[in-house]
Amino acid sequence: MPTKREKIEQWSRSYYALKLYVDLCFKFYFKNTIEGLENIPKDKPIILAPNHQNALMDALAVLCTKTWQPVFVARADIFKNPLISKILTFLKILPIFRIRDGYENLQKNDDVFNKTVDVINNRNGLVILPEGNHGDKKRLRPLKKGIARIALQAENSFNGELDIHIVPVGIDYTDYIKVRSGLLIRYGTPIPVRPLMKLYKSNPAKAHKLLIELVERGLKPEMVHIKDEKYYMVYKIILDMFTKVYNRANSKKDNHSNQFTTQKLIITKMDKFRQNNSDDFLLLAADALEYNLLLNRRDLTSNTYPMSKRSKWSFGPLAILLLVLSPLHFYSFINNLIPLSGARLLSNKFKDKQFLSSVRFVGWLVLAPIFHLIQMAAFAVITKSLLFTLVYAVSLPLSVYFFFLYKGWSTKLWSWIKELKFAILLPKRLTRLNELHGDLTRQMFEVIEFTNEDEYMKP
């Protein structure tokens, strides 16, 4: 296992074998949609610059995009343990030292920067998350100067002949934690570094600032960016509630790509609406907050509420299907109880919710093969049948898929039951919730200046 930092840019067969396994599991965890791969320069050294909202999963989103072995940079404090440091080096991660790591350690960045030059020159691809740390909101936070320093220093060390391009990468999740939720990865227009070299040689600070601005401008179109911090929650409620409504009215398929396009449109229109009609925006905000409050009190979500006619018709068949398949669910539950529980217990030690999916995913990657091998060995000893053992071995990964498929179906059924229970026990509050949903829908059609509202509102 190559764990020497001096060789981190070199192609690794063992890393490649591990990546195949990680890619397979990651693409199961999230339903990936990838756009803009044609924007990645094929014949130039690149630095990939993704937005950062979901800890390790953001790095894996880039890594699992294609067959490559880019090198990542991360904060140096996670390299303190020698064993962890070797593992991280094998995983092609370089440390970046910050002031909080001690002034005496800052000089170590010179060696790291020199190594990044090797990585870039080798055309593996260097991945830098320019926000520096992750956040739990769909917005781009201020970018750190590290990406500009590395890019300009590398280009300067080759007298502007490398022609480095920074590729903005927008990452968007429909849910940060839920298995089988959506993940959209968008590669934007590359930003050439060479044109800034003249400015860099005369005024490095100004060149750093300009390059950061260019990266920021490149990233924002590729991600869902709610710049309004004060009314962030209002925007988020509207996006969750109205995106599917708009796409349905506009006869758009309910896929992540269309959701992204619609959400960008909604944000743009709401920004203009708030600027030009501040009083009406406050009324819209009040309705949105009340709507969200009623949903939360009854543990309902915008993903399932309100129940569509199709959902009402499928309620009974889905309940019967779940009942019929319950023995298979029990089988899958038993086979995956220990690794799933272990991964969840590990994640519970982290207070930051943005680490939950990362810890659970990595925990499952490690625990599942171990316990499944133990199960297969025990099964082989008990049955003394190679054929039965092979069948059992094949059933184990299939049981993982079925477990989460069944869980998704049961979650949907349970959400419908909660809505029906709400309608029976608290009809007045449900009436109010329906009124707010209708009012918000009408207001948002006016905000977007939609012309087919009457068509949508027909029963």
What is the pLDDT, as a whole number, of residue 241? Answer: 95
Q: What is the pLDDT of residue 182?
A: 96
Catalogue the E-assigned strands of 130-178: 165-173
| Pair (25, 167) in one structural domain | yes
Query: Are residues 149 and 80 part of one domain?
Result: yes
The pLDDT of residue 74 is 85
- Give the HSE-up count for residue 346: Cα atoms under 13 Å, Cβ half-sphere: 18
C-alpha to C-alpha distances, 152 to 53, 60, 117, 394, 450, nearest whole angstrom: 26, 26, 10, 51, 46
- Is the pTM above the cut of 0.85? yes
The count of C-alpha atoms lying within 13 angstroms of the C-alpha of 44, restricted to the half-sphere facing its C-beta, is 20
State whether 15 and 94 are in the same domain: yes
Q: Are 268 and 343 in the same domain? A: no
**End-of-domain residue from the set 222, 240, 262:** 222
Do residues 244 and 109 both lie within one domain? Answer: no
Statement to judge: residues 194 and 91 lie in one domain: yes
- DSSP 3-state of 22: helix
Report pLDDT for 457. 44
Q: Residue 89 is part of which domain span?
A: 5-222
Contacts of 7 (CB under 8 A, 6+ apart): none
Task: Count how many domains the chain has.
Answer: 3
Residue with tokens 């990542």: 72
Note whether 80 and 185 are same-domain residues.
Answer: yes
Residue 317 and residue 400 in one domain: yes
Q: Which residue has the tokens 């009623």?
A: 294
Residue 129 lies in a domain: yes
In a domain, 152, yes or no: yes
Q: What is the CATH number of the domain that holds 54?
A: 3.40.1130.10
Domain boundary among 222, 252, 268: 222
> Given the structure tokens 């995983």, which residue do they identify?
91
| Pair (212, 355) in one structural domain | no
Which helix (H) or strand (E) is 128 found in, with range? Answer: none
Hey, is 149 helix, strand or coil?
A: helix
Do both 365 and 243 map to the same domain?
no
Residue 70 lies in a domain: yes
Whether residue 120 is contained in a domain is answered as yes
CA separation for the pair 342, 326 (Å, rounded): 23
Whole-number pLDDT of residue 435: 95
Kindly give the parts of the chain with pLDDT less than 70.
1-3, 98-108, 450-459
Identify whether the C-beta of residue 265 lies closer than 8 Å to the C-beta of residue 448: yes
8 Å CB contact between 49 and 167: yes
User: Would you say 343 and 359 are in contact if contact means Cβ atoms under 8 Å apart?
Assistant: yes
Q: Using omega within 30 degrees of 0 as the cis cutoff, is the peptide bond preceding 306 cis? A: yes
The amino acid present at 73, given as its one-letter code, is: V
Instruction: Give me the residues paired with residue 32 across strands.
Output: 183
Shared domain for 82 and 186, answered yes or no, is yes
Q: Flag whether 306 is in a domain.
A: no
Whole-angstrom distance, CA of residue 303 vs CA of residue 301: 5
In the prediction, which pLDDT does 78 show?
79
> Which of 324-328's residues contact partners 24+ apart within 8 Å by CB, and which partners?
325/406, 328/402, 328/406
pLDDT of residue 458: 42
Question: Of 185, 201, 222, at which residue does a domain stop?
Answer: 222
Residue 13, domain member (yes or no):
yes
Structural domain contains residue 304 = no
Helix 232-249 crosses helix 278-297 at what angle (to 10 degrees)? 90
How far, in Å, are 114, 221, 273, 327 from residue 167 at the CA level? Answer: 21, 13, 32, 49
In a domain, 227, yes or no: no
* Whole-angstrom distance, CA of residue 44 vs CA of residue 190: 11
Cα 271 to Cα 410: distance, rounded to the nearest angstrom = 38
State whether 176 and 315 are in the same domain.
no
